[in-house]
Structure 1
Amino acid sequence: MASVVDHARLAFTAVERLEKVSGSRELIETFRSCLDPFGFGVVLITGLPDPPADPTPFFLINSWPAGWHERYIEKDFYRDDPVAQAGRTQIDPFTWGEAPVDPERQPRARQVMAEAASVGMRDGFVVPILTSRSVQACVSVAGDKPELSPNVRRMIHLVGMFAHARAVRLHAGQKALTKRLLSDREREVLRWTAAGKTAWETSCILGISERTVTYHVTTAAQRLQAVSRTHAVARAITLGEISIS
């Protein structure tokens, strides 16, 4: 059985490998290969906006099985996902099985987990990431029968935090190449929209009228050639106009 020292050595080796990656695809493959010996074949690094926001624009890296993303979004599983809910509210790392289920707030929670298991994600481990922005983030790794011993959890905690930082840096590098299209106020209202806030809630937070918030969302959508608020948020994140970290 591997010791704490052995797992620490593996963690630092993984960090060294992750430090050398130069793109998101390489980051995914390197992160997965580091965790593969412990039964983790799926990795996700993402922001966790409040429902009903679409989580897709907040994904930094994602290796979900083919078809799962489409199913997850089509069925609006994010709203009832107990792992996502725990990731938005907890500070300490946790296994998927430790995520509390609230039947009233998450009536389909068991369905979400059962369908995830059916595509090879029977259990997993989550490292919540506290950010300076309005949206919490997390690193989530999963597999069919992953090892979840205390030493493996510690290793994933360390490597996961570094992988998140690396993903953010790579994303920031891509944003630096993008010409800014929006004003500061337009970016500000879109950041709160991305966090799931209504126009009224955003107006209270920023100390401006609801009408002004709606105006800035509308002009931002026009500049981004978006057809809706959700599309505007997705375009703003993709183009580097707003940050999810």
Structure 2
Amino acid sequence: MENEIVVDLFAAISKIDTALSADAILQEFRSALARYGLRSFLITGLPVPHDTDWQREILGDGWPLDWYRRYVSEDHFLHDPCVAQCRHSPEPFLWRELPAAKLSTRAKLVMDEAAEFGMREGICVPIHVPLSGPSVVTAASDGMEVAPREMPVIETLCVHTFRSLSALGTPGDGDEPMPLTARERELLEWSAQGKSADDIACILGVTRNTVESHQRNIRGKLDAINVSHAIVKALRRQEIQI
């Protein structure tokens, strides 16, 4: 990961963390997404199929108003292929990656109509929380400007925003975070420099499995979803420098 990307991600998450209301969090999230050409978003839980009151699960609504009204009036939630995919897989995906040949007529209609409302391309970040139902952060626009190396950044932004909204008014548990070891800090700093797991293994003279084991420990200690998120959290804790 390049330093510039890490710095931008750190700045965006810092602004989200210092926001004092849901509206302020969503405004910072909207600004961060705009850098990638993404202008519309929805952050919501995904209740069981055929739930007629799914809107109660919405944490943040950044969809165009006309599209939201159309989506609700046509019961698109019941047939949305993004919803179905998010229920069954925790992996982020681009809308264009949905298997077009396997979509039902109603599912294709949902995506076609989204395009008519200025949401031709998009990304979904499913969020599966233990002992809770699935959720999703989805963002879209007429066109995306996202390089493959930026996908983990968008995933991190989406999950961090979801957690920030979910935690509003929730007191912390007061536990002291576990510090990273010297080797974990060294490894994470190499990751921040854009080095892959194989690169780091070569630099440190260890196996790839050892690097991946350290990365799992780092994510666990920092409660991070991926390396990008771990880097930002370690920077905020001043455990690494870039």
Using structure 2 for the length normalisation, give the TM-score.
0.65
Deviation at 1:61, TM superposition (A): 0.5
Using structure 1 for the length normalisation, give the TM-score.
0.65
Residues 111 and 171 (structure 1), Cα distance of their counterparts in 2 relative to 1, 3 Å cut: farther
Structure 2: how far apart are the matches of 1:135 and 1:98? 24
Residues 69 and 172 (structure 1), Cα distance of their counterparts in 2 relative to 1, 3 Å cut: farther
Secondary structure at the residue paired with 2:138? strand
2:87 pairs with 1:112? no
Superposition pairs of residues 49-64 of structure 1, within 5 angstroms = 49-53=47-51, 54-64=53-63
Structure 2: how far apart are the matches of 1:144 and 1:7? 23
CA RMSD for the aligned pairs? 1.9
* Alignment: residue pair count: 170
Q: Which residue of 2 aligns with 1:33?
A: 31
- Percent identical across equivalent pairs? 31
Gaps of 5+ in 1: 174-245
Gaps of 5+ in 2: 172-242
Q: Which residue of 1 aligns with 2:142?
A: 144
Structure 2: how far apart are the matches of 1:168 and 1:134? 12
2:68 pairs with 1:72? no
Deviation at 1:64, TM superposition (A): 0.6
Deviation per CA, 1:18-64: give whole Å up to 9, x if none: 00111122122110101112101112111111211132011000111
**One-letter amino acid of the structure 2 residue matched with residue 34 of structure 1:** A
Deviation per CA, 1:138-179: give whole Å up to 9, x if none: 111111101232122111011111101101012658xxxxxx
Q: Which residue of 2 aligns with 1:100?
A: 99
Structure 1: how far apart are the matches of 2:81 and 2:94? 11
Secondary structure at the residue paired with 1:170? coil
Residues 148 and 171 (structure 1), Cα distance of their counterparts in 2 relative to 1, 3 Å cut: farther
Q: Which residue of 2 aligns with 1:183?
A: none
Residues 110 and 17 (structure 1), Cα distance of their counterparts in 2 relative to 1, 3 Å cut: same
Which runs of 4 or more aligned residues in structure 1 lie more than 4 Å from their structure 2 counterparts after TM superposition?
101-104
Residues 111 and 153 (structure 1), Cα distance of their counterparts in 2 relative to 1, 3 Å cut: same
